[in-house]
Amino acid sequence: MPAIKMGNSKTLRTNSQDFLNLFLNDTPMLDVRAPVEFLKGAFPNSQNIPLLDNQQREVIGTMYKKEGQNKAIELGHTLATAQIKEARLAQWTAFIQNNGNGYLYCFRGGLRSKMTQVWLKESGIDYPFIEGGYKAMRTFLLEELDKSLNTVPIVLVSGRTASGKTHFLHRLKNMVDLEGLANHRGSSFGALISPQPSQIDFENQISIELLKHKHQHKSPVFMEDEGRLIGQLAIPPYMRKTMTEQYPIIVLESTMPERVKVGVKDYITDLYPLYESAHGDHAHDIFSEKILHNLSRIQKRLGGELYQQLQGQFKDALTAMKTGQVSGFSAPIETLLSKYYDPMYDYQLSKRQGRVLIRGDQEELLAWSQTYQATATELAGVNNNVST
């Protein structure tokens, strides 16, 4: 691993524009933008230790627009009191000592990156920055996402709600778990305790995952056949278009009892302990409110009579849950699957029947996918040899 210059070290690393290898290698990144910028969007393996806080960024940005870079730099040095500078240097140094192969970045790889470098150099540390900064890396990932969607061989795993598609994906060698990246389990009942990432973070992670498959694995990639939204996050428009119109599909088929079991596990018994850990004695009330709220969100589509039936069943099941009984959830979940989710799924799949490669249970699809991946990888190797 290349060394950083600390003290009298003679080995220096230069600034970088090699965005591809930065992401392929999960390179640690020191993000010196303001916290508000980081929250809107950043990159995996990045840590926000800002040069300026939100208010300072706004003031200096105004000065830059009105008076130019030199005046903005002067104001920056004025606002950076000795105490602030000492605190920032201590935090940056700790990051650098743990991430000697990393880089720092700001929004455009300009003023803030250079000022951070100067402060570090004055303390005896040479640490490179990413030229073009956040903006250039974000542009790179958006462009590469579209390229990957057209070049990476992608197969969609489809199947009715609660058929166990995510569980099946994790049995495959090469896959992208979109719900995992979105921190959501899909459907109206799939929200987790921890918040979803920002839309930008979600898109960045999808692009990076596909880049890794494109350059490191070079074999077919499986991902779940998602709708337009996963929780509050939208599948990028061009990605949604290719998923809807282009990629081949395999269909995971599960019996209704199997699906009910998966539904109870994914949306009730696996989630409730998270609420207990986060909310203690208030867990049951908060969890109950969440379940009933999620049901109310689809009230219009269910219709009044069915909604009232399901609401009563869920209330009874939630009450019984206080004594450790969860069997009461089976009936309303089965009703939701058969009368709400299945008709929507059947309609959507009916428009794409020509792209279905195979239907089967988990074991049948697993055996097929292993053969499919091996054959596709072998053919890709033959084609590469012919082209060279």
Phi and psi of 265, rounded to 5°? -70, -50
The CA distance from 142 to 135, in Å, is 11
Residue 30: which region, alpha, beta or left (left: phi > 0; alpha: psi -120 to 50)?
beta
First to last CA, the chain: 32
Q: How many helices (H) and strands (E) does the chain have?
A: 19, 12
Catalytic residue among 49, 106, 169, 191: 106
d(CA 365, CA 257): 19
Strands, E assignment, 75-143: 103-105, 125-126
106 is catalytic: yes
Question: Half-sphere exposure of 198 toward its Cβ, with a 13 Å CA cutoff?
Answer: 12
Please count the other Cβ atoms lying within 10 Å of the Cβ belonging to residue 12: 12
Closest CA to 145 of 247, 213, 245: 213
Active site residues: 106
